[in-house]
């Protein structure tokens, strides 16, 4: 069979093949290089991301360990503070042990019938700031200076129940006459029911004056037996 091509020559060359030339080869090589670079950058970033995730996991594990250590340290600090408070309370009670025995005996004698005490709290004394002009003031007497240097006065709060206001008033009067208490004040009194009976809850505040046996002996030695001098806990303040 005989075929005859009647198309012009220029159309015949185009149909014969596709030629890129040097410029096309350079373009393809450049594109391939860019693709290789992008693939390399992608793998590098994936490797960096994997390392970052590993570091984050390690940091989280370390943070969890530190949180546990922090909880242990906080618990130990709390235990240390509790032990310190107990030691301080024991030291204070031991230092004025004999005085507190006498104070509690005095309170028990002052409690009348139909009055019950359920809480006796020693409060922190208020901070007294020196007034202007009192720094260089001379003291009136040596005895007063000695008493000021060793006196022990603390505010206290007493809570309890009373079945009658007369009993509560009698308790306050006895407290005012005591050698260990002054500034006795009724802070609060409310109606309540105690064992199916009408009663009153009350809160008293007062100043308690106490000296240990050692402090009392030192005071006697320093002050001496002066005529007309009576050493009581209130007279020292």
Which residues, 6+ apart, have CB-to-CB distance to 150 below 8 Å? 211, 215, 218, 219, 236
Both tokens of residue 215?
A: 């402090």
Question: Are the C-beta atoms of residues 114 and 162 closer than 8 Å to each other?
Answer: yes
Lowest-pLDDT range, 17-21, 177-181, 223-227?
223-227
Q: Mind listing the pLDDT tens digit for each residue in 183-204?
A: 999 999 888 887 778 889 999 9
Query: Residue 67's pLDDT band (boundaries 50, 70, 90)?
Result: confident
Both tokens of residue 169?
A: 């008033």
Q: Is pLDDT at 81 greater than 50 in this prediction?
A: yes
Query: Residue 237's pLDDT band (boundaries 50, 70, 90)?
Result: very low
Q: Is pLDDT at 175 greater than 70 in this prediction?
A: yes
Buried residues in 27-48 as b, exposed as e (16+ CB within 10 A): eeeeeeeeeeeeeeeeeeeeee
Domains in the chain, CATH or no CATH each: 97-126+146-223 (3.30.70.60)
User: Given this model, what pLDDT does residue 147 score?
Assistant: 43
Within a 13 Å sphere around the CA of 224, how many CA atoms are in the beta-carbon half? Answer: 4
Both tokens of residue 220?
A: 């006697």
- Cross-strand bridge partners of residue 197: 194
User: Shortest CA distance to 84 belongs to which of 76, 96, 73, 74?
Assistant: 76
Q: Mind listing the pLDDT tens digit for each residue in 100-146?
A: 788 888 899 999 989 999 998 888 766 555 555 554 444 444 444 44
Q: Mind listing the pLDDT tens digit for each residue in 9-58?
A: 655 555 445 556 677 777 787 888 888 888 888 888 888 888 888 888 88
Rg of the chain in Å (alpha carbons): 47
* d(C-alpha 59, C-alpha 39), whole Å: 30
Which residues, 6+ apart, have CB-to-CB distance to 172 below 8 Å? 184, 186, 204
Which residues, 6+ apart, have CB-to-CB distance to 237 below 8 Å? 147, 151, 153, 207, 209
Q: Mind listing the pLDDT tens digit for each residue in 204-222?
A: 999 988 766 666 666 666 6
């Amino acid at each position: 069979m005989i075929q005859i091509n009647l198309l012009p020559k220029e159309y015949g060359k185009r149909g014969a093949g596709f030629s890129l030339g040097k410029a096309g080869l350079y373009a393809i090589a450049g594109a391939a290089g860019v693709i290789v670079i992008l693939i390399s950058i992608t793998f590098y970033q994936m490797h960096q991301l994997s390392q970052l995730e590993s570091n984050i996991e390690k940091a989280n594990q370390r943070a969890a360990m530190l949180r546990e250590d922090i909880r242990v340290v906080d618990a130990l600090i709390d235990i240390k503070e509790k032990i310190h408070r107990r030691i301080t309370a024991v030291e204070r009670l031991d230092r004025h042990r004999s005085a507190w025995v006498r104070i509690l005996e005095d309170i028990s004698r002052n409690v009348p019938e139909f009055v019950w005490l359920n809480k006796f709290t020693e409060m922190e004394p208020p901070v007294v700031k020196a007034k202007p002009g009192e720094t260089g003031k001379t003291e009136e007497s040596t005895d007063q200076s000695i008493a000021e240097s060793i006196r022990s006065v603390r505010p206290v709060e007493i809570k309890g129940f009373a079945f009658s206001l007369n009993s509560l008033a009698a308790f306050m009067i006895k407290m005012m006459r005591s050698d260990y208490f002054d500034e006795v004040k009724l802070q609060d009194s409310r109606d309540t029911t105690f064992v199916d009976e009408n009663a009153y809850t009350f809160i008293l505040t007062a100043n308690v004056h106490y000296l240990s046996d050692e402090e009392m002996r030192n005071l006697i030695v320093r002050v001496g037996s002066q005529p007309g001098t009576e050493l009581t806990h209130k007279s020292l303040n």
